[in-house]
C-alpha cells in the first residue's frame, strides 16, 4: 500500500536479533511553506526537501467549504500547480477546522483555530459526543476535496492527515469518540477513492517530549480504537520551551512512541524550536535542526520542519532574501543523510552523541556532537580521514576532530553520492 522511507528488517544471527535499515529517502525531509511562496511573492526554496505538508491558510475545511455545498479550491489548486512546476508532487494535506456554519459551537472565544474564525475547533453539529450521528457534513467535505484532487487521476495529494493537534484546546474541543468517528469516515472515503493513499492519525502536539501529557493522549486515542483508521501514527515533535536547548530529549520520546504505535510507521508532521526566544542564538538554531533530524531518523519515517520562512523555527530570512544559519545547516544535513543507511539509533557516551551511517562502496560516516556544549577533540576511528561542518566546510582530520554542540560529519572518504 505504501513505500516507506525506511523499514527495519529483523533476522536471526548467531541466536541474536539483528536489525538492518534501508537508506534514508528524501521524503524524510518535509517542510511547511507559506502562501507567499506558492503565489510567487517569495522565491521558491533553495534548500532540498522531499515532501510538503499543507495546513490551513486557504486549504482548511472552513476555507474550502465556506457555505454548505459551496466549494472553493482555487488556493489548493494554486499550491498544487506551483508544486508541480517545481517538481514537487508529494503532499500531505490536513483535514481540519470546522466552518462556522457546520460547527456545534461558535460562541467559545477560546476556540482560535486559524484566523480565529468561530467554531473551528469544535466537531460538526451532526456528530454526537459518543461518536454517533450522521457525520454527513464532514463526509461531504472529505469526499469533495479528495475527489477534486483525484478525479481524473493520478491523485495530486498522496497523504491525508485527520485534524491538527487534537490535544490543544484551540484546535479541538470535542471528545475522543468524535475524533475517532471523523478519522473512520475520512479513512473509508479516502481509501474508496484512492486505495493507495496514506492516512495519518490526528497528531498531538508535544508527544515526543517525555514530560508532556501528549503521549498519554495519543495512547488513549489508540487504546480507544483510533489506530485502526490510520496507516501512519502522526505526532508533533515540539519540546516544551524550557526543554528546547536539550534537543536530545526527542530520542527517548520517539522511542517510546514507536513502542506504542502498534507496529505502524511514525511521522513527525510538525516540529521546530518554536519561537526564536526559546533558542535565540543562530549557532544553536543550526545545531538544533541538525540534531533533530539525526536523532529521529531510526524511529520516524518523515519529519516536516515548521517552517521554512513563516511562524516558528524559520530557515530563511525574507528581508535579506537568504538562508539563515539554520537553513544552511538543514541543507548540509540533507546532503549528509539522504541516501545513507543508519547503522542503528544514535548512541550516547557521557554527553557525546554519535550516529553511524554507511553508503554503497564501503563509505562510512559518523555524525558527532557534544550535547553539553563543551568544545573538545574527538578521536576519530581508524580509517576516517575528513569531516564536514554545518556550514559546508570540509577539513582533513589531523589528530582529533574538534566538536561542540554543532554536529560534524566524519567520513572515511570524499563523496557523499
Does residue 119 sit in the same domain as residue 193? yes
Q: Do residues 337 and 358 share a domain? A: no
Domain shared by 242 and 366, yes or no: no
Q: Is 40 exposed, middle or buried (0-12, 13-18, 19+ CB in 10 A)?
A: exposed
Q: What does the alpha-carbon distance between residue 101 and residue 128 come to, in Å, rounded to a whole number?
A: 17
Which are the contacts of 10, defined by CB distance < 8 A and separation ≥ 6?
17, 18, 19
Give the whole-angstrom CA distance, residue 7 versus residue 17. 15
Which of 342, 374, 403 lies at the terminal end of a domain, its last residue? 342
Is 217 in the same domain as 243? yes
pLDDT at residue number 5: 41
Q: Based on the domain organization, do 322 and 383 belong to the same domain?
A: no
Instruction: Return phi, psi of residue 374, to 5°.
Output: -70, 150
pLDDT at residue number 112: 60
pLDDT of residue 18: 34
Report yes or no on 364 lying in a domain: yes
Say whether both 247 and 367 belong to one domain: no
Look up the CATH number of the domain holding residue 81: 3.20.20.80
Range of the domain at 378: 347-411
- The reported pLDDT for the residue numbered 110 is 77
Considering its fold, how many domains does the chain have in total?
Answer: 2
Rounded Cα distance, 1 and 187, in Å? 14
Phi, psi of 200 (to 5 degrees): -105, 140
> What is the three-class DSSP state of 111?
coil
> 314-353: string of b/e by CB count within 10 Å (b at 16+)?
bbbeeeeeebbbbbbbbbbbbbbbbbbbbbebbeeeeebb
Q: 49 in a domain, yes or no?
A: yes
**Structural domain includes residue 5:** no
Same domain, 185 and 94: yes
Question: Is 334 in the same domain as 353?
Answer: no
| 7 belongs to a structural domain | no
Cβ atoms 194, 146 nearer than 8 A? yes
Q: How far apart are CA 57 and CA 35, in angstroms?
A: 7
Q: Give the residue from 227, 224, 169 showing the smallest Cα distance to 202.
A: 227
Q: Please tell me the predicted confidence (pLDDT) of residue 9.
A: 34
Task: Give the residue from 302, 326, 342 where a domain finishes.
Answer: 342
Residues 57 and 72 in one domain: yes
Asked whether residue 399 falls in the same domain as residue 309, the answer is no
Residues 59 and 171 in one domain: yes
Report the alpha-carbon distance of residue 299 to residue 301 in Å, rounded: 7
Q: How far apart, in whole angstroms, are the C-alpha atoms of residue 121 and residue 113?
A: 6
The pLDDT profile of the chain, 417 residues, written as one tens digit per residue, is 334 344 333 332 233 233 458 999 999 999 999 999 999 999 999 999 999 999 977 999 999 999 999 999 999 999 999 999 999 999 999 999 999 999 999 998 778 655 667 899 999 999 999 999 999 999 999 999 999 999 999 999 999 999 999 999 889 999 999 999 999 999 999 999 999 999 999 999 999 999 999 999 999 999 999 999 999 999 999 999 999 999 999 999 999 999 999 999 999 999 999 998 999 999 999 999 999 999 999 999 999 999 999 989 999 998 899 999 999 999 999 999 999 999 999 999 999 999 999 999 999 999 999 999 999 999 999 999 999 999 999 999 998 999 999 999 999 998 776
Let me know if residue 67 belongs to a domain: yes
| Residue at 367 is within a domain | yes
* 243 close to 194: Cβ distance less than 8 angstroms: no
CATH number of the structural domain spanning residue 380: 2.60.40
Final residue in a domain of this structure, among 318, 342, 366: 342
CB 302 within 8 A of CB 27: yes
Is residue 6 situated within a structural domain? no
Q: Do 329 and 204 sit in the same domain of this protein?
A: yes
Amino acid at each position: 500500500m505504501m513505500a516507506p522511507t525506511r523499514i527495519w528488517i529483523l533476522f536471526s544471527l548467531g541466536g541474536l536479533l539483528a536489525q538492518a535499515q534501508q537508506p534514508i529517502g528524501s521524503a524524510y525531509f518535509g517542510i511547511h511553506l507559506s502562501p507567499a511562496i506558492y503565489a510567487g511573492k517569495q522565491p521558491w526554496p533553495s534548500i532540498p526537501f522531499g515532501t510538503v505538508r499543507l495546513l490551513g491558510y486557504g486549504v482548511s475545511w472552513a476555507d474550502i467549504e465556506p457555505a454548505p455545498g459551496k466549494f472553493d479550491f482555487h488556493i489548493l489548486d494554486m499550491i498544487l500547480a506551483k508544486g508541480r512546476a517545481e517538481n514537487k508532487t508529494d503532499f500531505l494535506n490536513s483535514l481540519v477546522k470546522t466552518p462556522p456554519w457546520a460547527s456545534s459551537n461558535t460562541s467559545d472565544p477560546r476556540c482560535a483555530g486559524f484566523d480565529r474564525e468561530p467554531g473551528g475547533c469544535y466537531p460538526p453539529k451532526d456528530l454526537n459526543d459518543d461518536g454517533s450521528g450522521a457525520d454527513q457534513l464532514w463526509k461531504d467535505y472529505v469526499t469533495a476535496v479528495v475527489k477534486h484532487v483525484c478525479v481524473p487521476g493520478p491523485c495530486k495529494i498522496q497523504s491525508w492527515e485527520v485534524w491538527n493537534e487534537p490535544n490543544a484546546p484551540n484546535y479541538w474541543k470535542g471528545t475522543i469518540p468524535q475524533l475517532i468517528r471523523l478519522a473512520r469516515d475520512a479513512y473509508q472515503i479516502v481509501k474508496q477513492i484512492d486505495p493507495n493513499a496514506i492516512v495519518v492519525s490526528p497528531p498531538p502536539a508535544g508527544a515526543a517530549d517525555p514530560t508532556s501529557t501528549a503521549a498519554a493522549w495519543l495512547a488513549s486515542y489508540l487504546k480507544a480504537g483510533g489506530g485502526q483508521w490510520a496507516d501512519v501514527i502522526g505526532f508533533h515533535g515540539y519540546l516544551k520551551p524550557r526543554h528546547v536547548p536539550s534537543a536530545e530529549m526527542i530520542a527517548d520520546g520517539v522511542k517510546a512512541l514507536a513502542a506504542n504505535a502498534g507496529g505502524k510507521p511514525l511521522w513527525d508532521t510538525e516540529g521546530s524550536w518554536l519561537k526564536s526566544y526559546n533558542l535565540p542564538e543562530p549557532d544553536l538554531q543550526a545545531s538544533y535542526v541538525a540534531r533533530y533530524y539525526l536523532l529521529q531518523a531510526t524511529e520516524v519515517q518523515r519529519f516536516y520542519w515548521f517552517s521554512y520562512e513563516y511562524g516558528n523555527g524559520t530557515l530563511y530570512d525574507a528581508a535579506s532574501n537568504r538562508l539563515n544559519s539554520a537553513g544552511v545547516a538543514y541543507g548540509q544535513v540533507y546532503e549528509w543523510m539522504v541516501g545513507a543507511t543508519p547503522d542503528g539509533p544514535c548512541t550516547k557516551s557521557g554527553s557525546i552523541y554519535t550516529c553511524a551511517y554507511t553508503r554503497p562502496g564501503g563509505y562510512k560516516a559518523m555524525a558527532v556532537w557534544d550535547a553539553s556544549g563543551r568544545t573538545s577533540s574527538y578521536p576519530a576511528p581508524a580509517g576516517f580521514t575528513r569531516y564536514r561542518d554545518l556550514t559546508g566546510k570540509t577539513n582533513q582530520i589531523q589528530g582529533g576532530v574538534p566538536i561542540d554542540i554543532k554536529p560534524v560529519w566524519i567520513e572515511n572518504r570524499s563523496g557523499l553520492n
